[in-house]
């Protein structure tokens, strides 16, 4: 083999080594996710075996109209914050003027679908591409937008978790089972990681390569806005479950926040659709002071309000949009003058 072939054995070997490592990481991640999901389902099964089915039904039925109304209000607030993810990111990835209603539709439907079906990199990206490509946004810009939205989510999680563990270490000890001093130390560590990220985007190269795409991270000003939106989204999501707890649960909101964030993180790591099974198992173990039957009933109503209702609404919106697009195409075709006969 000579240089005119354009081939370099050493370079080929390095590429092959990196590809093999990536394959091993993917296999390891898949095995770890499957194991985590299996363990969580096993724990959930053991916990449910101790529950009284009649009591669970009664707990589900005990949810008052006020509780369900508040849960739906906080669900709306949470998804409203999610629309801000795309709205902010769009200003970073394109010079096109995309209307807010388009960004809101793409953001809401992509999250509602991915939360329920799982595999957000596939499901959310597909929905976003379906909507944004119709208004002229390219694949690279959509990929960058998806990355920025993902960073917003993780920043919000980090800010909320770190702040709660610092501000209320005693309350979070109910969930972590750790001393308050250690909870504070973990909280400072999480906040330090967020601060380190801010330093990187302020001083470092904001371009990253993901699966061959050259993507650009937002600057500090935009990142701070993201953090605010992400934190508000996480707090609203936790509030949905919080208002559904029985009145005598006596769970501090700080404890709920910490448990909710950990449950979401484990659910994401499991790759189970909506973190189902993993989220419930974590919450059942994290809030031992709440009667299990009542807590499971609250979790069932939470699933209905936060996942099922938005998912159904998203499907209706996507279907309606497709019908309107097809109807518009048909109207334009009917409005065209007939072609003159040949000859």
Could you report the per-residue pLDDT of 151-167, keeping only the tens digit for each? 878 888 888 889 988 98
Q: How confident is the model at residue 208 (pLDDT cuts 50, 70, 90)?
A: low
- pLDDT of 259 above 70: yes
- pLDDT of 60 above 50: yes
- pLDDT of 245 above 80: yes
pLDDT digits (tens, 9 = 90+) for 171-201: 777 777 888 889 899 999 999 999 988 888 8
pLDDT of residue 340: 64
The DSSP-derived string for 107-128 is: HHHHHHHHHHH--HHHHHHHHH
pLDDT of residue 6: 44
Q: In DSSP terms, which residues pair with 208 in a beta bridge?
A: 215
- pLDDT of 38 above 70: no
Mean pLDDT within 317-332: 78
d(Cα 24, Cα 281) in Å, to the nearest integer? Answer: 29
> The pTM is what?
0.77
The structural domains of the chain, with segments of one domain joined by +, span 28-322
- Helix residue spans in the chain (DSSP H): 9-49, 53-61, 65-93, 100-117, 120-132, 139-167, 169-176, 180-203, 220-242, 253-270, 278-286, 292-303, 309-335
Sign of CA dihedral 67, 70, 74, 79: positive
Mean pLDDT within 35-45: 58
pLDDT digits (tens, 9 = 90+) for 114-143: 887 777 777 788 888 888 888 888 877 888
pLDDT of residue 212: 58
Of 253 and 91, more confident: 253
Q: How confident is the model at residue 18 (pLDDT cuts 50, 70, 90)?
A: low
- pLDDT of 43 above 80: no
Highest mean pLDDT pick, 24-28, 49-53, 132-136, 183-187: 183-187
- pLDDT of 30 above 90: no
d(Cα 294, Cα 284) in Å, to the nearest integer? Answer: 10
Provide the mean pLDDT of the chain: 79
pLDDT of residue 17: 67
């Amino acid at each position: 083999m000579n240089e005119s072939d354009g081939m370099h054995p050493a370079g080929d070997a390095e590429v092959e080594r990196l590809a093999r490592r990536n394959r091993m990481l993917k296999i390891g991640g898949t095995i770890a996710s499957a194991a985590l999901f299996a363990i969580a389902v096993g724990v959930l099964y053991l916990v449910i075996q101790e529950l009284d089915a009649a009591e669970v039904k009664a707990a589900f039925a005990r949810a008052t109209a006020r509780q369900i109304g508040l849960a739906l209000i906080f669900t709306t607030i949470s998804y409203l914050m999610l629309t801000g993810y795309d709205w902010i990111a769009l200003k970073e990835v394109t010079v096109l003027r995309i209307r807010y209603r388009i960004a809101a539709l793409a953001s809401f439907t992509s999250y509602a679908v991915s939360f329920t079906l799982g595999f957000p990199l596939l499901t959310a990206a597909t929905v976003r591409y379906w909507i944004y490509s119709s208004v002229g946004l390219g694949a690279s810009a959509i990929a960058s937008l998806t990355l920025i939205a993902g960073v917003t989510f993780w920043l919000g999680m980090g800010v909320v978790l770190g702040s709660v563990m610092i501000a209320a270490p005693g309350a979070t000890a109910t969930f972590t089972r750790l001393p308050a001093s250690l909870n504070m130390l973990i909280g400072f560590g999480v906040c330090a990681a967020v601060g380190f990220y801010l330093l990187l985007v302020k001083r470092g190269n904001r371009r990253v390569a993901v699966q061959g795409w050259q993507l650009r991270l937002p600057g500090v000003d935009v990142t701070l806005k993201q953090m605010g939106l992400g934190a508000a989204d996480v707090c609203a999501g936790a509030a949905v479950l919080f208002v559904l707890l029985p009145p005598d649960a006596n769970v501090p909101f700080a404890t709920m926040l910490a448990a909710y964030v950990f449950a979401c993180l484990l659910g994401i790591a499991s790759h189970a659709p909506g973190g189902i099974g993993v989220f419930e198992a974590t919450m059942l173990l994290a809030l031992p002071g709440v009667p299990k039957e009542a807590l499971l009933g609250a979790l069932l109503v939470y699933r209905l309000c936060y996942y099922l209702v938005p998912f159904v609404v998203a499907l209706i919106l996507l279907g309606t949009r497709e019908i309107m697009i097809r109807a518009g195409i048909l109207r334009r075709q009917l409005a065209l003058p007939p072609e003159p006969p040949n000859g």
